[in-house]
Amino acid sequence: MNVNKLFLRKTVVITGAMGGYGSELVKSFADQGAALILTDRNSNYTNTHQLDASQYQYFQADLCNIDEIQNLTAMILKDVTPDVWVNNAGVFPFVDIMDVDLTQFDQLLSVNLRAPFYFCQKIGAAMAKKGGGSICNISSGAANVMRTNGSIYGATKSGLDHLTRLFAVKLGPSGVRVNGVRPGLRMGDTVQEIPPLHVEAIEKAIPLRRIARPGELAKAVSFLCSPKASFITGEILAVDGGSSINRRRET
């Protein structure tokens, strides 16, 4: 196997393909030869990496909408059972827990938890019928670190980690692997701009003293979805410079 083309003749689906992490994942899998199926809530895909038209398909889908996630799943499975599915789409309103309204609460649950659950269930079943496949859920260190300005987000990611392990157990006997990655903060991944002073404070608290660089998440996801990780399932890999380590504040 050409180590630079680990996903040659493999079909890879990426949700949230137009976000910061989504774009990083698209480039990584494209460079490794994958046939891509991309989805986002935008009506048209912005082909920033100048992918060849034959290398990808794009489907618009609002993951808050039950009908749209069901239709998206049906359209994809009508033509192919993916080899890899990456649940990357997510929302993160930068709002204090006391100010979160029920509309925001429902949006967080729908995009960050309900949609990945449905995809793991339906795509996982199709992969199991085929005899194998890999699902990777993009989680967050917020899953186990209390942050009052991202509390509901953290709760959804904690739930996603739990689902990752549940589906790993359920689908494992059929050869389907389910893992997760907790990326560290990098710029351009949230709809709302994070204040520079907040970013500076975060960097000082990270053991490696920096935020994530482009490409670091994609390398971890690629590894977990590749044959190199053939005996790994149910794992949540932190790629965050140590920011989610439970530790005392330095004095």
3-state DSSP of the chain: CCHHHCCCCCEEEEECCCCHHHHHHHHHHHHCCCEEEEEECCCCCCCCCCCCHHHEEEEECCCCCHHHHHHHHHHHHHHCCCCEEEECCCCCCCCCCCCCCHHHHHHHHHHHHHHHHHHHHHHHHHHHHHCCEEEEEECCHHHCCCCCCCHHHHHHHHHHHHHHHHHHHHHHHHCEEEEEEEECCCCCCCCCCCCHHHHHHHHHHCCCCCCCCCCHHHHHHHHHHCHHHCCCCCCEEEECCCCCCCCCCCC
Residues 220, 226, 228, 231: is their CA dihedral positive or negative?
positive
- State yes or no: is 153 an active-site residue: yes
Catalytic residue among 21, 45, 56, 153: 153
Query: Hey, which residues are catalytic here?
Result: 153
